[in-house]
Structure formats: C-alpha cells, structure tokens
Chain A
Amino acid sequence: MKQLFLIVSLVLLSLSAYSKKIEVRENGKISSIKEAILLAHDFDTIVVKSGKYKEYGIKVDKPLTIIGENFPVIDGELKGEIITVIADHVTLDGLFIINVGTSYTSDYAAVRVVKSKHFLIQNLVLEKLFFGIYLEKSSHGKVFHNKIIGEAVEEYSSGNGIHLWYCKNIEVDQNIVTHVRDGIYLEFSNFCTITNNESLNNIRYGLHFMFSNDDVYRGNTFAKNGAGVAVMFSKRIEMYENIFQENWGSASYGLLLKEINDSKIIGNTFETNTIGINIEGSNRILYKDNIFRSNGWAIKVRGACYTNEFINNQFLSNSFDVSYNSKLNDNVFDSNYWSKYAGYDLDKDGIGDVPFRPVKLFSYIVNRTPETIVLMRSLFIDIIDFSEKVSPVFTPDELQDLHPLMKRIR
C-alpha cells in the first residue's frame, strides 16, 4: 500500500513537473508573447524565436520560463511598460527589449518584478529605456549578465538601470549599465549582493543606495559617472575590491558616505576622482587595503565621523591625502603607505621612524577659501606646510600615522 502510494505520488509529481514548450514565431501560429502566456500552464517554457515583436504591457502571471533565441526584439514603441512579472519562479532569458515609454507620473520599466520570489533575469539587452530592471518588494532573485544602455540626458526625465525597492536577498551579478540616471539603485533593500557589475557614464550616480542594510558590494567598477557613487543612511555595508574611477566635478565623489555605520571598505581602488571618499557622519568603519591613486582629495572628512580605522591603505600621488575641517579627531590612521612620506627607517623594519601627518595646512586653507587652490604646489605653500608639520596649530595634532610603511604593499 505504501509503495503504491509512493508510485502514484511520483507519477503525479512527474506529470505536474512535466513542462510543455511553447514556441513564439513572428509569423507562426502563436505570434505574440502575450498569447503564449495566456496558453501556457505553470512551469511551461516559452521560446521566442528571433524576430521583432511589437508588444508592451506583457504580464507574466504564471511561473514560466521565457527564453529568447538569438535575441528577439521586443519593441514597446514608447507606449509604456514592457514586461511585468507578478508570479514566483519566473525566468527571463536572452531578450532584446527596446523603446520603453517615458512618463512623468509612473515609472515605466523594461522589466518590472512585483512581489515575486525566486526569479531569474539574465542575458537581457535593454536599450532606449526609462527604467531598466525594476524590482519591487521581491526577494530571492537573481539579475545576471544583462546589458542596459540608456540615452539619459537630464536627471528629471530619465530612470535608473537596475532599481531595487523594498527587496531582500537579491543577487545582481555581471551586469553592464551605462547612460542612465543611476546605474544601480537600492532603497530599503537588505541582504543583497551586488557583484562584478560595471556602471559607467551614468548621469547621476553609478551606484546609489539609501536605507539598505547588510548588503555586499564586490568587484564592481564605477567609472565616469556624473556624481560618482553615493551611499547614505545604511548599516553593515561591505564593499570589497570595487573600482571607482574618473568621477570628476565639484559635486562628484568616488564614494560619498553619509550616515553609514559599522561597515567595511576593503581592497577597493580609487583612481583619478576629484574626491576619493567623502565621509560625513559615518562611524565605526574599517578602511583597509584600499588604493588611492591620483585623486584630488583621497579622503575628505567632513565631520561627525568617529572611531573609523584606516589601516594598510596606500595613498599614491594624490593632490591631498586627507582633509579635515575641524581640529577634532577620533579616527585612527595606522600602517598606511603614503607616497608623500619623507621619513627614514633606521632599524630597517619597513616602518618609518617618524610619524606621518597626512593633513596639510594647505588643505585646511583650501577648505576655508576654495579659490586658494590655484596656489597648489607653490614654494610658499610648501614652506607653510612644513612649518605646520613641525608644530601643528590649525590641523588636528594627534592625527598622525605612527607606523607609516616605507614600501608599497604589492
């Protein structure tokens, strides 16, 4: 009896698991994705053959797998949202989606996922879009290897590439996002991992998150974005091995931290940004093994930053290494490599015998009167910097690296 039950249940299970394949062809029996979804049962696979499909407002309300063959084009003709996923276990793969409608009242997206779980969105190419991939109150999904190429010109009339809102446990991996407003945007999204993405040439931020805790960012590249990367009001963030490059301008930052607490920033590279890291009201952050190369300001500390630790970082030919706007210091700088360090190492243990003071008087002056920047590298400035170094008056005198490294860490 027991065995019979097992067999019956197995047969039933296999029946339910058996999934049909539905083909969508441009001139075939089923010529639109909407139609195919209507005909499909749960866990079916819809194969979209290559061609051009003029559709918008496609609602995926069953657990389906939709696969494109040779990147079929789904053209929304600027009429509105193109694909909306409202079921769990949906896979979208290999589609070329263009012409998402622009609206000032609702955020049309090329792909929107609403209150769904276990979805997989991969190998999509999105062009001429408003919002790209918009995840809303969803969890346990993966956004993998998509290419999003926008045409954003103004902030107010453009959307974000990958947008997460009230999401949980989402993986965003190996995507390329360019020319949109914010490359990757997270709001109220926790436990997400953002890895190996490239976010370039976006008009506002490469990465932007707010109120999103316990997220991990690893191996991403953020370059040439209008205002760099801004992260605000979040806790327990971990950033490893990211690259922040060429974010230039008066309001542009490699990384802007505002009200970020208990986080780790390890092994990142900050290169040729106007400001490498701008820190404001951020506490208990560990900065370790980062490389700051040729930035205007490597680290700019604005205030209300306590018990941060800067350890084993490398500061290489930045115009200013560290800038402070107050005399108060509660942060630790230790065992970093400073290319400006001019001390000696008599006992040959690789650690300089004289402490290094990373804050120059000139950076204090520039903070007060920004126009004085034209005097950078002048002999007079070198002289007053030197006298300040000997006896600090304006800069925090306990702010020093007691164990500056003599050689670069390779």
Chain B
Amino acid sequence: MFKILKYSFFDLVRSRWSYVYFLFYLALASVLLFLNHDLSKAVITLMNVIIVLVPLIGTIFGVMYYYNSKEFTELLLAQPIKRSSIFLGQYFGVAVSLSLSLLLGIGIPFLLYGLFESDAIWDFSLLLLTGVFLTFIFTAIAFNISLSNENKIKGFGYAVMMWLFLAVIYDGLFLLSLVMFEDYPLDKLSLIGTMLNPVDLSRTLILLKLDISALLGYTGAVFKQFFGTNVGLFLSIGVLCIWVIVPVLRIVAKAKKKDF
C-alpha cells in the first residue's frame, strides 16, 4: 500500500494542479494578511473559503484522479497486489497531497506573519485541522462515487451534485425544516442535523471558537452543554473521524467486489 501511496503522492506532487492549488492558497492567505493586518479576521475569511472550496477541490480532484489513472489501475490489478492496498494507496496519495498543498499554502504566509506570537494560533490550527478533515472526507466520497460509476460524465455529475447538496442545498432544507417545526423543541434536531453533514460540522467547529458569544445566547440545556463546554469540540472531531472512516471502509468493500 505504501508503495502505491508513495507513487500516487509523488505523481500528484509533481503535477501542475497541485502547484496551482498550493499557489492559490498561498496567494489568498498572503493577500488577506497583507490587506487585513489582523490574523483573527483573516482566519474568519479563510474559514468561509475553506469550508466551501476544500470539499469542491477534494471532490473534483478525487474523481479526476480516479478516472485518469484508470488504465494504470487496471495494470496494477493484473499484478499480485491486494486490491485494498491499490485503492487505499491511491486515495491516501490524493488526500495527503491535497492536504499538503493546503497546509503549506496557508501555513507559510501565516508563519511568516508571526503566527506564534499571536493568540489566533488555536483558531488557526483548528482551521487547518478542519481543512485536512474535509479533504480526506470529500476525496473518500469522490472515490466512492467514481468506483460506483463507470461512466466518467455521470461520475463527475454525481460528484458535483453531491458537493452542491452538502455545501448549499442541505443547509437550505435544514433551515426550512427548523422554521417549519419551530413550535417543537428543536435543539437536539438541530445538533443532529449538523452532525449529518461534514461541511456543517466543520463550520460548527470553527463557530465554537469565533461566535461563541452569540451561540450562548440561545436558552437550551443541550445547546449549552454542547457549545459551552468541550463536549462540542470533542464530539465534532469524533464525528469527523467517523466521516472519514466510513467512506474509506466502503472504498475497500467496493473495490473488493468490483468487476473490472
């Protein structure tokens, strides 16, 4: 598995798109810091970008990589290598290289700007953590989709739809259901609804840091426990882990059964 991971990783690291992705974050973070002079404000803006863009890039990259390297995968399948190690190797190759672009792209400008002397360091590391989680989750989902669809166009379509659903439409439906059932106690529902969507989950994780004073404005014991203590933080990170593990397991299961 590690051999394949290494191969995929270096293949991607050498590719143009990784550089574009890396340079994009580098430019974004530098410009933000240059214009803002305020680390915590830049963290908020970056959060808005990351929770939308990272899933999109992760999805598209994952799908693209799978379909592009399909012939090579078939070649590998002819060798005496375990199927799970081929696909997991490819998956981790993509996810790790994307995460690396993200970490370096955002990390370098912030480090140069004097991150360690500021008190935004925890917010910032949380931001990076959620960015990495989102990359891993959405790449895994993308691999799932492309494994299930032979047709490239269909696969792409589903992947983009999935991103659109989780990033935008889900919140719309969520909001609608909350407003419709406003006569009922909703605090559990709203927290569960958040857990079911990795994008919302990462957003909440950052909200815990940034908007805590507003979040505490709502009277609800469950809310209070979730947002007021560390329970929220640990639970969110735990659920994010589940969001990585489940799709990865499905990749393994699917790859075992799939007929090439």
| A370 close to B218 (CB less than 8 A) | yes
Q: Does A251 contact B (CB under 8 A)?
A: yes
Residue of A248, A273, A383 most packed against chain B (CB within 10 A): A248
Please give, as numbers and ranges, the residues of chain B lying within 8 Å of A273 by CB-CB distance: 213
| A296 close to B213 (CB less than 8 A) | yes
Q: Does A378 contact B (CB under 8 A)?
A: yes
Chain B 167-186: CB-based contact to A (< 8 A → 1; otherwise 0): 11101101100110010001
Could you tell me the distance between the alpha carbons of A375 and B172 in the complex, rounded to whole angstroms?
A: 9
Q: Does A333 contact B (CB under 8 A)?
A: no
Could you tell me the distance between the alpha carbons of A381 and B172 in the complex, rounded to whole angstroms?
A: 8
Q: Does A372 contact B (CB under 8 A)?
A: yes
Residue of B193, B203, B217 most packed against chain A (CB within 10 A): B217
Residue among B48, B200, B219 making CB contact with A250, cutoff 8 Å: B219
Could you tell me the distance between the alpha carbons of A272 and B48 in the complex, rounded to whole angstroms?
A: 21
| B215 close to A373 (CB less than 8 A) | yes
Q: Could you tell me which residues of chain B, from 183 to 212, have a CB within 8 Å of some CB in chain A?
A: 186-187, 189-191, 193-194, 200, 203-204, 206-207, 211-212
Please give, as numbers and ranges, the residues of chain A lying within 8 Å of B200 by CB-CB distance: 374-375, 378
Q: Could you tell me which residues of chain A, from 360 to 410, have a CB within 8 Å of some CB in chain B?
A: 365, 368-383
Please give, as numbers and ranges, the residues of chain B lying within 8 Å of A248 by CB-CB distance: 212-213, 216
Closest CB in chain A relative to B202 CB, distance in Å: 11
Contact A296 to B203, CB < 8 A, known contacts A369-B178, A379-B167: no
Q: Does B126 contact A (CB under 8 A)?
A: no
| A376 close to B219 (CB less than 8 A) | no
Closest CB in chain B relative to A95 CB, distance in Å: 40
Could you tell me the distance between the alpha carbons of A376 and B223 in the complex, rounded to whole angstroms?
A: 14
A/B pair count, beta carbons within 8 Å? 102
Please give, as numbers and ranges, the residues of chain B lying within 8 Å of A376 by CB-CB distance: 207, 211, 214-215
Could you tell me the distance between the alpha carbons of A77 and B215 in the complex, rounded to whole angstroms?
A: 44
Q: Does A249 contact B (CB under 8 A)?
A: yes
Q: Does B41 contact A (CB under 8 A)?
A: yes
| A275 close to B194 (CB less than 8 A) | no
Contact A369 to B179, CB < 8 A, known contacts A296-B213, A379-B52: yes
Chain B residue nearest to A381 (CB atoms) is: B171
Could you tell me the distance between the alpha carbons of A372 and B220 in the complex, rounded to whole angstroms?
A: 13
Q: Could you tell me which residues of chain A, from 272 to 323, have a CB within 8 Å of some CB in chain B?
A: 272-275, 294-297, 317, 319-320
Chain B residue nearest to A383 (CB atoms) is: B168
Q: Does B44 contact A (CB under 8 A)?
A: yes
Could you tell me the distance between the alpha carbons of A7 and B194 in the complex, rounded to whole angstroms?
A: 90
Q: Does B47 contact A (CB under 8 A)?
A: yes
Residue among B41, B179, B207, B223 making CB contact with A317, cutoff 8 Å: B41
Please give, as numbers and ranges, the residues of chain A lying within 8 Å of B189 by CB-CB distance: 371
Contact A380 to B179, CB < 8 A, known contacts A250-B217, A296-B215: no
Closest CB in chain A relative to B206 CB, distance in Å: 8
Chain A 103-121: CB-based contact to B (< 8 A → 1; otherwise 0): 0000000000000000000
Residue of B172, B182, B213 most packed against chain A (CB within 10 A): B213
Could you tell me the distance between the alpha carbons of A319 and B210 in the complex, rounded to whole angstroms?
A: 9
Closest CB in chain B relative to A246 CB, distance in Å: 8
Closest CB in chain B relative to A302 CB, distance in Å: 13
Could you tell me the distance between the alpha carbons of A382 and B194 in the complex, rounded to whole angstroms?
A: 17
Please give, as numbers and ranges, the residues of chain A lying within 8 Å of B223 by CB-CB distance: 371
Residue among A294, A320, A378 making CB contact with B203, cutoff 8 Å: A378
Please give, as numbers and ranges, the residues of chain B lying within 8 Å of A373 by CB-CB distance: 214-215, 217-218
| B191 close to A374 (CB less than 8 A) | yes
| A371 close to B168 (CB less than 8 A) | no
Could you tell me the distance between the alpha carbons of A289 and B179 in the complex, rounded to whole angstroms?
A: 37
Please give, as numbers and ranges, the residues of chain A lying within 8 Å of B178 by CB-CB distance: 369, 371-372, 375
Residue among B41, B48, B52, B216 making CB contact with A274, cutoff 8 Å: B216
| A377 close to B203 (CB less than 8 A) | yes
Please give, as numbers and ranges, the residues of chain B lying within 8 Å of A365 by CB-CB distance: 175, 179
Chain B residue nearest to A316 (CB atoms) is: B41
Could you tell me the distance between the alpha carbons of A380 and B168 in the complex, rounded to whole angstroms?
A: 5
Could you tell me the distance between the alpha carbons of A296 and B214 in the complex, rounded to whole angstroms?
A: 4
Residue among A320, A368, A378 making CB contact with B182, cutoff 8 Å: A368
Could you tell me the distance between the alpha carbons of A249 and B227 in the complex, rounded to whole angstroms?
A: 11
| A297 close to B167 (CB less than 8 A) | no
Closest CB in chain A relative to B205 CB, distance in Å: 12
Could you tell me the distance between the alpha carbons of A275 and B214 in the complex, rounded to whole angstroms?
A: 8
| B190 close to A374 (CB less than 8 A) | yes
Please give, as numbers and ranges, the residues of chain B lying within 8 Å of A381 by CB-CB distance: 171, 175
| A319 close to B214 (CB less than 8 A) | yes
Please give, as numbers and ranges, the residues of chain B lying within 8 Å of A383 by CB-CB distance: 168
Contact A294 to B213, CB < 8 A, known contacts A317-B41, A378-B203: yes
Could you tell me the distance between the alpha carbons of A92 and B220 in the complex, rounded to whole angstroms?
A: 48
Please give, as numbers and ranges, the residues of chain A lying within 8 Å of B175 by CB-CB distance: 365, 372, 375, 380-381
Please report B residues at the A interface, Cβ cutoff 8 Å. Answer: 41, 44, 47-48, 51-52, 167-169, 171-172, 174-175, 178-179, 182, 186-187, 189-191, 193-194, 200, 203-204, 206-207, 211-220, 223-224
**Contacts A365-B175, A368-B182, A380-B175 known; 8 new A-B pairs at CB < 8 A:** A275-B217, A297-B217, A319-B211, A374-B193, A374-B200, A374-B207, A377-B206, A377-B211
**Sampled A-B contacts (24; CB under 8 Å):** A250-B216, A250-B217, A294-B213, A295-B214, A296-B211, A296-B214, A296-B217, A320-B214, A370-B219, A370-B220, A371-B187, A371-B189, A372-B175, A372-B179, A374-B193, A375-B171, A375-B200, A376-B215, A377-B48, A377-B211, A379-B167, A379-B168, A380-B168, A380-B172
Enumerate the 9 nearest inter-chain pairs by beta-carbon distance, A residue then B residue, closest first: A296-B214, A319-B214, A380-B171, A250-B219, A296-B213, A371-B186, A371-B190, A369-B182, A370-B218
